Amino acid sequence: MTKTNAARILDAAGIHYELREYRVDEDDLSAPRVAEKIGMPPEQVFKTLVARGDRHGVLMACIPANTELDLKALASASGNKKVELVPVKDVLGLTGYIRGGVSPIGTKKPYPFYLDETADLWDVISVSAGMRGCQMVLGPDDLARITEGVRCAIAKE
């Protein structure tokens, strides 16, 4: 199993996690499909999105696979007036990760991180390990601690 940069960061911090590999379908990189492949409900598998605020610049948001990002709520939580998702073509340059493999851990630069509060409903959640085809399962408290994340209500159905 490949050790990603995100996994090495968790190892160094002494954080317990599990890696789950799955076969990548280039035609369907959706988070609900990933949830199905790793055998977890979509509410427990979190996708990491990269956004840009009009006041504070780039930030990251982590929401359940079966939800959409509430841009107004994220703007409010992050002290911005307006927040927009960054174009897919900019994701790699900003984070060092490709679409479908963006981890909240180990980005090129540390960005403010917002975790949807529903993460607290679970003992463990899944986020990308930093590459397509590999998810990491860890406790939401551990994720929030390693990313200095803020929990808030930022997802909508």
pLDDT for position 48? 96
Tens of pLDDT, residues 8-54: 999 999 999 999 999 998 888 888 899 999 999 999 999 999 999 99
Given a contact cutoff of 8 angstroms between Cβ atoms, the answer to whether 99 and 91 are in contact is: yes
Using 50, 70 and 90 to split pLDDT, how confident is the model at 144?
very high
Tens of pLDDT, residues 73-123: 999 999 999 999 999 999 999 999 998 899 999 999 999 999 999 999 999
pLDDT for position 29? 80
Backbone angles phi, psi at 13, to 5 degrees: -85, -5
Return the beta strands (E) in the chain as ranges.
18-21, 46-53, 57-64, 68-69, 83-85, 113-116, 125-131, 134-138, 150-152, 155-156
pLDDT for position 28? 83
Backbone angles phi, psi at 71, to 5 degrees: -60, -35
Read off the DSSP letter of residue 14.
T
Letter string b/e over residues 38-72, b meaning 16 or more CB atoms within 10 A of that residue's CB: eebebbbbbbbbbbbbeeeebbbbbbbbbbebbbe
pLDDT for position 1? 62
pLDDT for position 30? 85
Domains and CATH numbers, the chain: 5-156 (3.90.960.10)
pTM recorded for the entire structure: 0.94
